Amino acid sequence: MKKRYYIKTALIMVLCTFIAGCDFNLTEENDDPGAVIVNNYENPTVLNLGIDSIDTFNPLFTSSSSVYDAMQLIFEPLFSFDDALNPICELADSYVVSDDRRNLSINVKQNIKWHDGSDFSAVDVLHTINLIRYNETNYTSQLNCISAASCPDNYTLSVTFSRAVPNPEAVLSFPVVQNSVTADDLADYIPIGTGPYKYYEKLTSNKIRLTVNEQWRENKPSIGEINLNILKNKEEAADAFNASEIDIITSKTMDLKSNTPRGEITVQDYVSDNMVFLGMNNAESVLSGVNTRKAISYLIDKEAIVTNEVFSRAVVAKSPINPSAWYCPNIPEAGYAAEYIQEILALDGWRINESGGFIRDKIISEREGEEPETMSEKLKCDILINDDNEERYRIAQRIGDALNGFGIECSIILVSFEDYTQRINDKNYQLFIGEVKMPANMDPYNLLVAENYFSYYTQQMHEAVYRLGTYTTSEEEKNAFMEYANLFNGEVPFVPLFFRKESVIFENRISGTSMPNMFASYTDPQNWYFTVKNNNVNQ
């Protein structure tokens, strides 16, 4: 759930003192009756935004999440999304999905100018798609489902998918770059986009100035300039924000687990696309039974993990679907008594032994006409984690304690990150704590249908995932995701634990902000404006 927090300080008095010596044009009242919009035409209002070190300004290639977010002020996608993840046409003007749901014909907007004055066209979008598909970028895996793309004319784009995919608009959520952009000289790349702000100059070694794009198709932004301030680390970011040197910052730049922002602020939380889960090797003997996997999942207190191990910087995952999405099923909470969990373990042959653990008879050889040869198998499993991740260790400990307390013997295996990834790739594990960036369209194909880390495949799941891409109405889409979520929770290929939360933190003098989402931290920046308190207004 997204929340806004308001913290009051004496900053109002400082602002009022400052205003008294300035010639401002006060235009209209904000929603707050004690606030007025401020425009200073002689000295354009400047907003300071915090980012970390810059590798490249190219949003397709940057490895910095804060630089990527800042480039949302400059570049635009075909489609953006609201906070419920409904698609909104940006550079796309209209589109048609074919009957077989495998082709999108998109009409792009005309009379759009790049910041250098050149014309935007569908050719730029096609070039961006090819740049992504044939290089290692932030969107390459997202576009793996595209089999072909072409431009029938300058303002029409045709995209063909290798299979019917859910939410195809989300696949096309990448920022569009000019058709002259290459994967070379990324460090010297000067960003040229179509968005409301454009790159202007490098002020200092740690400050970049953006100015308003005068040719932007919508209302001219009221904030005239935005400075991108490069901060060395999260501690410096916290100090700069608390000293009011920075007006906007995100939880990617300032660690909210260890720093509480001070001053009069607004915090806007959103659910990211990063999902943390308990991986299960379905090929392992003790985990091959669906009821055993269910029992383990029922014993995990996800709320306690979110509250105590990630300090409430996450939301519980009831399925591998972002809880913010309008099509995410509302799965009710369920508590399971110990007797019930014992009953479902018995369905997989497990019985309690004299020591309070679980054992079963495992067949090791069978010959026709003879009694099968068996051996006793103990219900025990190890949780694999990398030894440099304290959070994963805490989560593994909590899960291990729950399993051990119920009689399922569980231990933690700590290895180097290199060994951790190698063992997962080799499927040399039983359980592991992992994290995945979920596809923008929440398509579970790579997690559950294609060759996957969990050695999982059923024809029923394959068909359910296929149906996610075949709906023709919103109601059909919601039903398809409900069917998939119910099947997932019935099969438990792995256990989704939580989706991480991210935040955008604004000083309260900034108004007009829209709720962020997993596609964009900075939404509708053209609507941002500064306000100050007006002590003459009757409260």
User: Is the model's pTM score more than 0.85?
Assistant: yes
For residues 438 and 290, membership in a common domain is answered with yes
> Which of 159, 178, 180, 179 is CA-nearest to residue 170?
159
For residues 364 and 388, membership in a common domain is answered with yes
For residues 238 and 362, membership in a common domain is answered with no
For residues 302 and 337, membership in a common domain is answered with yes
For residues 525 and 442, membership in a common domain is answered with no
For residues 290 and 425, membership in a common domain is answered with yes
Look at residue 66 and tell me if it is in a domain: no
For residues 197 and 286, membership in a common domain is answered with no
- Name 469's Cβ contacts closer than 8 Å, sequence gap at least 6: 101, 163, 164, 165, 166, 168, 443
pLDDT given for residue 374 in this prediction: 74
For residues 172 and 317, membership in a common domain is answered with no
- Number of folded domains that form the chain: 3
Structural domain including 404 reads 272-500
pLDDT given for residue 38 in this prediction: 57
CA 357/CA 380 separation, integer angstroms:
9
Look at residue 67 and tell me if it is in a domain: no
pLDDT higher than threshold 70 for residue 12? no
Q: Among 128, 149, 176, give the residue marking a domain's end.
A: 176
pLDDT higher than threshold 90 for residue 27? no
Q: Residue 178 in contact with residue 184, Cβ under 8 Å? A: no
For residues 344 and 448, membership in a common domain is answered with yes
CATH of the domain at 109: 3.90.76.10
Report the percentage of the chain scoring pLDDT > 90: 80
For residues 309 and 413, membership in a common domain is answered with yes
Q: Each residue of 216-275: pLDDT tens digit? A: 998 889 899 999 999 989 899 999 998 989 999 999 998 887 777 777 899 999 999 999
Look at residue 417 and tell me if it is in a domain: yes
Look at residue 496 and tell me if it is in a domain: yes
* pLDDT (mean) for 450-473: 96
Look at residue 182 and tell me if it is in a domain: no
Look at residue 61 and tell me if it is in a domain: no
CA 102/CA 159 separation, integer angstroms:
8
pLDDT band with cut points at 50, 70 and 90 for residue 88: very high
CATH of the domain at 208: 3.40.190.10
Sheet arrangement for strand 529-533: 25-29, 35-39, 529-533, 510-511
pLDDT given for residue 421 in this prediction: 98
pLDDT band with cut points at 50, 70 and 90 for residue 25: very low
pLDDT given for residue 533 in this prediction: 56
Residue 422: how many other CB atoms lie within 10 Å: 12
For residues 354 and 489, membership in a common domain is answered with yes
SS3 state of residue 242: helix
For residues 391 and 306, membership in a common domain is answered with yes
Look at residue 349 and tell me if it is in a domain: yes
Look at residue 183 and tell me if it is in a domain: no
- Name 158's Cβ contacts closer than 8 Å, sequence gap at least 6: 103, 104, 105, 106, 149, 150, 151, 152
What DSSP string runs through 459-519?
Answer: HHHHHHHHHTT---SHHHHHHHHHHHHHHHHHH-SSEEEEEEEEEEEEETTEE-----BTT
